[in-house]
Structure 1
C-alpha cells in the first residue's frame, strides 16, 4: 500500500507494473490507460508482466484500449467483436472478463473513474447499451478500423482458460488536506490567557533526507555500502521525545571504544615496524648499557 503520484495523493494498493509506482483510479484513467495494473502484493510475488491483449495477443500500446472494472486492459475493438458474437438473448451477468470472469458491466451503484470511463465506452455500442439498461442507438458508433487482423476465437467460452484471480477493490481514500491543525494545551501558558494555541504540522513529502527512500530509487536494489551508511546515520539522528534512548547511547559508547582500541593497536604496530631496525635502539650499541655474557653451564 502506498500513495499515488497524482495531485490527489490517494492511498491505494494498486501498482503499475510498467512504471513501478502506486496508482489510484484517477491515475489509471489519465496517466496509465494502457498499463498493466494489479495489486502491490501480486507484484511482490511476481513482477513479470506481458503488455498484450489477452484476446488477440497483440501489444496494448498500439490501439485504443479499455480498462474493465477488474482493472484488466483489452483492445476496444477486441471487446466489441467479442460482445457482438454473444447472442442477444444472453443475460447481462453472462458478459464477463475474458481473464478473471468478473462481470463485464459495472454495477449501477459503483462510482469510480474507471467505471465511468468504461460506461462511456460501452454506451457507444448497442450490445453493451442493452446490458447497461440504455435505449439502443439508431446509428451505432463503430470502433476505429485497424490495419491488422484481430484474432479472436469464435466461441467466447473456449477463448481462454479460467484464471483463479479475485476481484480487486479500491482501498479507502485519505483526506486531501496537506496540513493538520491540532489543538495542544501549553502547560507554560499564563493563567490570564484563555486562548489555546494552534500548532500547524507541515507534511513531510518534500523532505530531502537521504535516510528515506524516494520514489525515484524506491525499488532499486541497494548496495551493501548504502545499507551500512543508512545504519550508521540512524544512530546520529535526533531522538524523538518520549522514546527510550539509552540503547542508542550504549551502542555509541561501544563503537567509540572499538575505534579508540583499533587506533591504538594500529599506532603500536606502525611504531614497532619503524623502530625494528633502528641501531640507536639496539642495547648492544649503547655505551651506557652493559650487557654481560652469561655462559650456560
Structure 2
C-alpha cells in the first residue's frame, strides 16, 4: 500500500524508463511497402498518401538501397501494370511489373528480403481479386478457378526472386493451392506470409489510389471478413496453418489490435500487422495541419502494434520510424 509502493520510482529518469520498458520497437520489426509501375525515372506521389510514390523499377532499386541502409530488413512489392484483363495476366506473367522489380532488387540488394504481394485486384480489368461469373456485377469471385491464377502468380514471383509469397485475396484454400504450386516448382523453401485475417475495411481507400485497384462495381465483402467478427479470424488462421502458412497477417492493424492479440495467443507462428494506407493518411493529414506530433504518434502506434503481439509491422512510416529509432 502507499507509500510503500510507488510505481513512479521507475519513471524518474529516461535511462531507467528505457531499462524497464516492456515492449521495444526495432528496425528489424519493419517492412516497407513499395508500388512498382512500368517505365523509367518515374516517381508519382500518391495524393492521398503524402510521401508515398508509384515508382518505376529503377527508382524501386534506389528506394530498396535506402531501406536496406536504414536497417529495415524487408520490402513488400505491389504492382500497377500497363494493361489489365480478366485473366490478371500482369500478375503471373514472367515479365510482370512485380517480377521485374523483384529481380532488379535482388540483383542490387541481395540481402534485402523481398516479399511479393500475391493478389489479382491490381491486374484485373474489373478490380476484383479473381475470376467473376460472366455478367455478375456483385463482385462475387469464383473461388476455385481463382486458386489456379494465384498458384501461377506465386510461382512466377518466386522464379523472379521473391523471398516470401504473401497471398492477400482471402480465397478459401489459397494457402494450400500456393504451397502446392511452389513445392511442385521446386520452391519448397519459399515461405508463405498469409493475409489470414483481412477485413473488408474502410481504411483501404488511399491504397486503392496508389495501386489503381478500386473495384469497377460491387465490393469485396463476399471474400474479405466482416469487421464485427473476431472468432472468425481464429477460424481463418487455423485453416491457413493447416494448409501450410509460415506466417500470419492481420489487416488492418489500428482498429484490430484485439485481433492481433487473439491471433498471437492462438498461434505459435510469427504474426504481422499491416498498418494500412488509411491509418497512414490520417496521421499524415493531421501532422501536416500541425494538429499532432507526427513522430510521437507514429512511434506510439507502432509500439502499440508490437505490444498487441505483432512480430512484424508493414507500414508506410517505416523509413521515418527507422530514422527516429536511430
TM-score category (smaller protein): under 0.3
Higher strand share: 2
Q: TM-score, normalised by structure 2?
A: 0.23
Q: TM-score, normalised by structure 1?
A: 0.25
Greater relative CO (CA pairs within 8 A, separation 6+): 2
Higher helix share: 2
